[in-house]
Structure 1
Amino acid sequence: MTSRVKTCETCATAKIRCLRSPGAAICDRCARLNKPCYFRPSRVRQTWTKKETRLESLERRVDQLLGQSQSHASPEENSGDVIDKGILSLDDAAALLDYYLQYMMPHFPFVALPERATVGELREQKPFLFLAILSVSVMEDRALKRALDDEVRTATADRTVLLDKPPALETVQGLLVVLAWSQHQASRRIGPQIFAPFLHLAIGLVVDLELDRPVEVRKFAGRMSVHETRSEPRPPAVLKAEKRAVLGCSFLSSSFGIITQRKVTLPWTAHMERFAIELAQDPDYDGDRSIMHLVRLQHIFEEMDKVSSESEDTSMSGTAFQRTFRTFKSQLQDYADQLSQQVAGSNYLLASQLNTVSLYLCQVSLFDRMSTSSQLPSAFRAEILGHGLTAAKALFSSLAHLPMGSERRMSYSEWLQSGFSMILSCKLSLMAVSDEVLRTNHPQIQSLCNELDMPQILRICVVRQQSQEPRSEARKTGFDYTGWLQYVEEWFGRHHHGYTSRQRGTPVPGSEVPDSTTASRAGLGTGPGSATGIPANTTATAIPVTYPPPAPAPFMSDVSSGLDLPVTGDMLPWTSFPDFWITENPLAGWMDLGLMPM
């Protein structure tokens, strides 16, 4: 039987209460007034459900996806490392591990392993560190590199964000290895994208585990804990590994922060100095001795950066600034004397660090504080410039003696330092050839600039990089070194040629410039009378470089411009380089990877 409403239509229209006697077909009012009485059927009331929120919808979708992935994946696919999953074979993993131990680990001594470490030991004892080593050791297989990078990201999320495993020293070590060669991400033609996030994760773990403190001052129980907690004694090898990890995080944070002009999130402390000294006094590996020098040089680096970041409105006077410069210069000279034997022993890591800090002193003195440096006496500015040109020559001399292919093994800090030093050396060379006062009153500056021979160095670097660049796109991984070097060479060549042309009084539009093939041959050292790979007309102080064999012509066609670019009018109005680099600064004063047209 259909249910009906309790008020007839007539009473509802009149808005009067409708009363009906039991059993009557019409209401009492309609019967009394003799009016039609109609009760309409009642509508079925709909049951309203609670509307699903966006968050609940996303959670439901994630649960569905997780359920699908678990139902379609076999147990073998869900467990095991990259070898069990078939991403690479056991023999390939062993070859990559051997390559890392022999060629890459010396560039980053903060994560040290025994020379006889095996794949089986690392897979069982330190699987995350093992995965990180495999990912950074792949050189010429972009597909494999991408697959291993994805595995590293997944494992990192499990260990840090999802907290599937408790924080551990191994996680910090694995992150450090990834960070140390993060410039070689697969299919990345710009600056490293994972460096800052991974660095913050590593530093966060260091702080949580209190690795930045000596064991005797670590807080093993919180203030609100009612139970006494005692720490188990750590083996000496573990304590040393913790010290290396902390110093590695600080070293990368300082190098990255200063050169890229960002905040140093884990700066030098007295505890870190103590850790470095203890490692040097009782070393387990060769790199333990060099860590102390790296830490101390980085401390000087940070002190220089403090001078750079001071407000110039309240800055020190010219005399005080001269004392500060000479104090830093004296400290660096003392270290150069201490490191002479180690640097001479092909320790490029220390040589790069020392010369980069020396060059940074010039960056702070001449470019970061323009109002102060412009008021300095000409003789003092010449002293700063001479210091920088000498450091640049020493750096490129050590770089030139590296075996072919060493650039690919460089750590991220060395990579940053080489790029920054390249840019700053270009700036110093342009200042030397553009500043009329320095050229006239201090001829030794021009001599140092000629000995450095920045055009020749840039040509050598480009040709050297081209000779070892994979020709197959599938084999290219990481940052585009060749494109970046060609950009710097083109930029420097235009302005260097413009300044030198004006000094000679050569008409700019009709000026003759050397043929690009000649420039390439000069870089390759194929000229007559070249016993060591340097043209006969080069001075005896030129950098002794063992040049690669000439590349085929099609391989060199993309650098036909070389240094031989016409001088345009847009670069002539500025009479000195300091004015020029403020007005038109394609390199942003630093190694700005974001502005490089790749």
Structure 2
Amino acid sequence: MRDSRIEALEAQVRELLGSGRTASSSGNSLSPEPQPAPAADPDDDAIDQGLLSMQQAEVLVNIFKTRLTPHFPFVVLPAHVSVAQLRYEKPFLFLAVLAAASFDDMSVQRQLGHLLKQAVNERILASGTLTFEVLQGLLVYLAWSHYHTRPRLYSQYLQLAVSIVIDLRLDREPIAARKTYAGGHRNHLTESAQPSRSADEQRAAAGCFYLSSTIANLLQKLNTIPYTDYMAECCLSLATRAEAPTDKYLYYMVRLQHIMESIDFMTSQQQHQPMVDDEAATNAAIYAVQAELGALRASLPFELSESSKFQPILCVF
């Protein structure tokens, strides 16, 4: 029975990705004042289901903000937004946050994970409602998926996240924001980057690249969300605005992952086309990577000990 449901979900994912059905972004930050609840299914609400009380949910949301967000700073919950507001305005993201943060109670976490998959399968895929909120919820789920069962769904959920980013064009500069100069080219020397995406959208696009690139490297597959100058500009803009304390990490996390892509590509080329007779070229490529990593480490605006995300690689150089 469970296998048949998973196969049905996979079929729905393939159909949805093939048809390109997604909804509009509507994904900027939560409104400053609580709004009437959207048409959320009570079957997907952990509070209505009696799995958690509001007090327990508040504890879990705080755990997400203080303990999980520093490790995956691509989905940030605004400090001024209450738990009740998050629950009613972004119920899917709320559920994903609870599922990720409930790691101290595996029984509850499994039940929350089941609710989340149920929401994806029966409510989101069935209606084709892939909003920006769904993207944020999927990113949270994917980032902390090792806490959940059914790892075979990971690639399908990642494809859903990628499809939302592409359909909402979050991976590229908004057309209205593009400026041309003499010769039709943007002058990067005189015009600083002014990304018009919201901070939430910029973080989410970078987070989707980060996860997609990581999995592509592990599985030796092509990353469907390429690294771009615009993505780097967005991350630098976030660091400059510093709306969230963790925004200062984004550019360096994304840049480091891009370097890892280069290393993976170089290794793959070596395996398929060994440069036995060109040791000098191999050494030059290795030196270039070492120099790039060294330069990245030297440019960090914070102490390396402040973030464990960079230590395993950058401490070597």
Q: TM-score, normalised by structure 1?
A: 0.41
2:303 aligned counterpart, secondary structure: helix
Contact 1:258 1:302 in 2 (8 A): yes
More deviation in 332-341 or 96-105? 332-341
| CA shift for structure 1 position 269 | 1.8
Structure 1 counterpart of 2:215, from 256, 270, 279? 256
| CA shift for structure 1 position 78 | 5.3
C-alpha distance in 2, partners of 1:292/1:348? 15
Q: Deviations over 1:426-462 (max 9, x none)?
A: xxxxxxxxxxxxxxxxxxxxxxxxxxxxxxxxxxxxx
Q: Are 2:206 and 1:247 equivalent residues in the alignment? A: yes
Q: Are 2:288 and 1:327 equivalent residues in the alignment? A: yes
C-alpha distance in 1, partners of 2:246/2:82? 20
Max radius of gyration: which structure? 1
Q: Are 2:258 and 1:299 equivalent residues in the alignment? A: yes
C-alpha distance in 2, partners of 1:324/1:237? 37
| CA shift for structure 1 position 203 | 0.3
More deviation in 239-248 or 303-312? 303-312
Structure 1 counterpart of 2:72, from 94, 98, 108? 108
Q: Are 2:307 and 1:343 equivalent residues in the alignment? A: no
1:193 aligned counterpart, secondary structure: helix
Contact 1:294 1:353 in 2 (8 A): no
Flag the 1:80–1:250 CA change in 2: closer, same or farther, 3 A: closer
Q: Are 2:240 and 1:277 equivalent residues in the alignment? A: no
C-alpha distance in 2, partners of 1:212/1:113? 21
Q: Are 2:134 and 1:171 equivalent residues in the alignment? A: yes
2:171 aligned counterpart, secondary structure: coil
Flag the 1:134–1:320 CA change in 2: closer, same or farther, 3 A: same
- Paired amino acid for 2:70: P
Structure 1 counterpart of 2:99, from 130, 135, 138? 135
Contact 2:44 2:116 in 1 (8 A): no
Q: Are 2:247 and 1:288 equivalent residues in the alignment? A: yes
| CA shift for structure 1 position 177 | 0.3
Aligned residues between the structures: 260
C-alpha distance in 1, partners of 2:276/2:226? 23
Flag the 1:280–1:122 CA change in 2: closer, same or farther, 3 A: same
Q: Are 2:143 and 1:180 equivalent residues in the alignment? A: yes
- Paired amino acid for 1:351: Q
Alignment of 1:503-582 (within 5 A): none
Q: Are 2:314 and 1:354 equivalent residues in the alignment? A: yes
1:275 aligned counterpart, secondary structure: helix
Contact 2:294 2:314 in 1 (8 A): no
Q: Are 2:153 and 1:194 equivalent residues in the alignment? A: yes
| CA shift for structure 1 position 342 | 2.7
| CA shift for structure 1 position 117 | 3.4
2:9 matched residue in structure 1: none
- Runs (5+) with no aligned partner, structure 2: 1-39, 178-194
Q: Deviations over 1:264-284 (max 9, x none)?
A: 222212221222222122221
- Paired amino acid for 1:331: E
Q: Deviations over 1:496-544 (max 9, x none)?
A: xxxxxxxxxxxxxxxxxxxxxxxxxxxxxxxxxxxxxxxxxxxxxxxxx
Contact 1:290 1:350 in 2 (8 A): no
C-alpha distance in 2, partners of 1:251/1:124? 29
CA RMSD of aligned residues (A): 2.7
| CA shift for structure 1 position 115 | 3.1
1:268 aligned counterpart, secondary structure: coil
C-alpha distance in 2, partners of 1:265/1:316? 33
- Paired amino acid for 1:255: T
1:266 aligned counterpart, secondary structure: coil
Contact 2:239 2:247 in 1 (8 A): yes
Q: State percent identity of aligned pairs.
A: 32
Higher relative contact order (CA 8 A, sep 6+): 2
- Paired amino acid for 2:132: L
Flag the 1:149–1:215 CA change in 2: closer, same or farther, 3 A: same
- Paired amino acid for 2:154: F
C-alpha distance in 2, partners of 1:78/1:121? 16
Contact 2:171 2:225 in 1 (8 A): no
Contact 1:110 1:248 in 2 (8 A): yes
2:120 matched residue in structure 1: 156
Q: Deviations over 1:541-561 (max 9, x none)?
A: xxxxxxxxxxxxxxxxxxxxx
Flag the 1:288–1:327 CA change in 2: closer, same or farther, 3 A: same
C-alpha distance in 2, partners of 1:178/1:139? 13
| CA shift for structure 1 position 171 | 0.7
- Runs (5+) with no aligned partner, structure 1: 1-75, 219-235, 356-389, 392-598
C-alpha distance in 2, partners of 1:77/1:179? 22
Contact 2:139 2:161 in 1 (8 A): yes
More deviation in 79-88 or 196-205? 79-88
Q: Are 2:221 and 1:265 equivalent residues in the alignment? A: no
Flag the 1:237–1:143 CA change in 2: closer, same or farther, 3 A: farther
Q: TM-score, normalised by structure 2?
A: 0.74
C-alpha distance in 2, partners of 1:247/1:77? 30
Flag the 1:160–1:263 CA change in 2: closer, same or farther, 3 A: farther
| CA shift for structure 1 position 315 | 7.2
Q: Deviations over 1:563-587 (max 9, x none)?
A: xxxxxxxxxxxxxxxxxxxxxxxxx
1:55 matched residue in structure 2: none
1:253 aligned counterpart, secondary structure: helix
Contact 2:217 2:261 in 1 (8 A): yes
Alignment of 1:389-400 (within 5 A): 390=316
| CA shift for structure 1 position 209 | 1.3
